[in-house]
Structure 1
Amino acid sequence: MEFVDISYSAAARTDAQRQFDVYLPTDAVPSPPPPLLVFIHGGAWRAEDKGDHKKLARGLAAATRYSVAVVNYRLTPRDPPGDDHFQHPGHAEDLLDALLFLTTWQGPSAVGPVYNPAHLYLMGHSCSAHMLTSIFLDSSSITPSLTPTASLCDAVKAITLSEGIYDLELLLSDFPNYREWFIAPTFGRRGSYAPFSTTTFPLIATHIKWLIIHSSGDTLINTSQSERMYHHLCVLNGNEAPTRVFRNINRLSGDHNDVLLGLDYVDIVKDFVLNHA
């Protein structure tokens, strides 16, 4: 059972970029409602759509027996003429709005609740890994609008991050052409993007479990991004890191988005969320 094009913005109910889809693990509404997996797509803050990930969402729902939501957010224009356009932190603000909505939504009017809003498992791929770490690590010194509520933090049990962008200066050192391609349009033209690197942000919630995934075959984002975030989370969690912070950087071999198409990715996520439910 699937429900599509649900608005999470009261101010923009017809905006397709502020909508989400929900996929249920069965043809009937589960009872009691299961936890919710929330997948947020990548696309360099300027591309992709929730509809691109239907196969992944259906696979995750079938494997975990959880409901799955796939969320859209507004995108930065591909070729903006200047800096007067939609950019960071707007994408993550949309995501935060969506997550807050998902903690209060009562489900489709015809069927009622289709997941347990007190048990959320979040998944960010590529640039949305940066968005999630901007929200669930403490970025208040640079982007206070991304501060989550205590109730949202309590609802989030675990976060999976795959092929993620975290350290913008390291990214530009590895891929200098990314500056003009999408970093400057997304964050504005700056001498340094270090303030936006989420590998420097403090911890907010200590109960959240983290899984960092990276494919050895990714040609768009180097493994050093994921290694840096993994080690940062380990430092933040201290002695509790072995039970809160996990990584998988040797099982996948596909390229950046190709990893989302195979069964291995679904299996990795399934094993993580079911072991930390």
Structure 2
Amino acid sequence: MIVLKDIPYHRGPIRDPFREFDLYYQKSSDLALLPLICFVHGGAWRSTRHLDHSNLARNLVSATTIPVIVPNYRLSSGSNDVRHPNHAEDILELLVFITTTSLELPRVFDPSKIYLISHSCGAHMLASIVLDSASVFPTLTPPSTVLNAIQGIILSEGIYDIDRLRLDFPAYHSWFITEAFNDKPSYAATNTTNLRLRSQSSIRWLIIHSKGDTLVNVAQSEAMFAHLQSLYGGLIGQAVWSNTDELTQEHDALLSTSTYLRIVVDFIKGANYVLAA
């Protein structure tokens, strides 16, 4: 397996290690380009790096033969002013870079076919980009090249409703919510369960949540699943799936399980999921 580390995607005058990604892929003699998988890590908007998910990236490449990228993004801390939507802006900048400047990268994937996978707060970032948050955060408006490239989105152990999370886990407000979103009486403007659809019409969604997760409760995923059902329910050709029964591991531990890998690979390969009613 070939690994290219610390590829910059930010166009600023100074190279930023928080806006780089790693690319994992296998050599192939097949001239047909494969899609690309992008994994957006969690960490409460304040911790973990792309290197922490090297094993998952390698496992995904081995199981699918599809190239995988794992990006960094800027993190919130008391010593900086990085706040939502800055983290999601970075991921959107990455997606624009991938879909428009791929000639700068090895020609090992098709930039017009991307599968997005996320974990924890990464799910909030992806939902904030793909759903329509433009009225509140116009900087999260993706170009059509990005929206058209997204084939499917997998949201794992996601955070979607900050107000609900604060009610269910009061300690999170001082632990990371204030750092990532500032101290507010309500976070309704940031809740992705309030967002509507953009104009795209072919993206498939999978919501994953473990029964054993004590850090983010399944109520978050149930709310997002119900919201997506309401958005897509009347549209032909849309699909929203949920898997909240198979996994039993804790919040981070599930990422290293064979069950999680199989669920993800099946979705990407187009397995016969039961369409959400």
TM range (shorter): over 0.9
Picking from 216, 219, 232, the partner of 1:221 is: 216
Percentage of matched positions with identical amino acids: 43
State the shift of 1:35 in Å: 0.3
2:268 counterpart residue number = 273
How many residues are treated as equivalent by the alignment? 269
What SS does structure 2 have at the residue aligned with 1:161? strand
CA separation of 1:36 and 1:13: change in aligned 2, threshold 3 A: farther
What does 1:197-208 align with in structure 2 at a 5 Å threshold? 197-204=191-198, 205-208=200-203
Q: Distance in 2 between matches of 1:236 and 1:117?
A: 27
Q: Is contact 1:36-1:121 (8 Å) kept?
A: yes
Does residue 1:130 correspond to 2:124, yes or no?
yes
- Counterpart for residue 72 of structure 1: 72
Structure 1's 99 and 12: CA in aligned 2 closer, same or farther, altered over 3 A?
A: farther
Query: Aligned partners of 2:14, 2:138: CA distance in 1, in Å?
Result: 25
Contact 1:23 1:57 in 2 (8 A): yes
Query: In the alignment, which residue of structure 2 is the partner of 1:105?
Result: 101
Q: In the superposition, relative to structure 1, how do residues 22 and 141 fare at CA in structure 2: closer, same or farther (>3 Å)?
A: same
CA shift, 1:104, in A, is 2.1
3-state DSSP of counterpart to 1:17: coil
Measured against aligned partners, the alpha-carbon deviations of 1:199-254 in whole angstroms (never above 9, x if no partner) come to 01001122110000000000100000000000100000023489510000011110
Match of 1:163 in 2: 157
Q: Cα distance 1:146–1:59, how it changes in 2: closer, same or farther (>3 A)?
A: same
1:38 aligns with 2:75: no
Provide Cα deviations, 1:104-125, integer angstroms capped at 9, x if missing partner: 233566xx31110010000111
Aligned partner of 1:234 in structure 2 is: 229
SS in 1 for 2:248: coil
Residue 275 of structure 2 aligns with which residue? none
Secondary structure of the corresponding residue to residue 234 of structure 2: helix
CA distance in 1, matches of 2:187, 2:24: 37
**TM-score, normalised relative to structure 1:** 0.93
> Conserved in 2, the CA contact under 8 Å of 1:42 and 1:126?
yes
SS in 2 for 1:151: helix
Quickly say closer, same or farther: Cα 1:93–1:29, change in 2 above 3 A. farther
In terms of mean alpha carbon deviation, does 180-189 or 28-37 score higher? 28-37
* Structure 2: gaps (5+ residues): 272-277
Asked if the contact 2:76/2:179 (under 8 Å) is kept, the reply is yes
Q: How many angstroms does 1:151 deviate by?
A: 1.3
* 1:194 CA displacement: 1.3
Q: Which runs of 5+ in 1 are unaligned?
A: none
Could you tell me which amino acid in structure 2 is paired with residue 95 of structure 1?
Answer: I
Contact 1:206 1:237 in 2 (8 A): no
Cα offsets for 1:38-83 (capped at 9, x unmatched): 0000000000000000100010011111110101101001x34xxx
Deviations 1:15-46 (A, max 9, x none): 1110001111x244753221000000000000
Distance 1:214 1:156 in 2: 22
Letter in 1 for 2:255: L
Q: Secondary structure at the match of 1:38?
A: strand
Partner-residue secondary structure (3-state), 1:212:
strand
- 1:150 and 1:106, CA in 2 relative to 1: closer, same or farther beyond 3 A? closer
Letter of the 1:53 counterpart: H
Q: Aligned partners of 1:106, 1:152: CA distance in 2, in Å?
A: 13
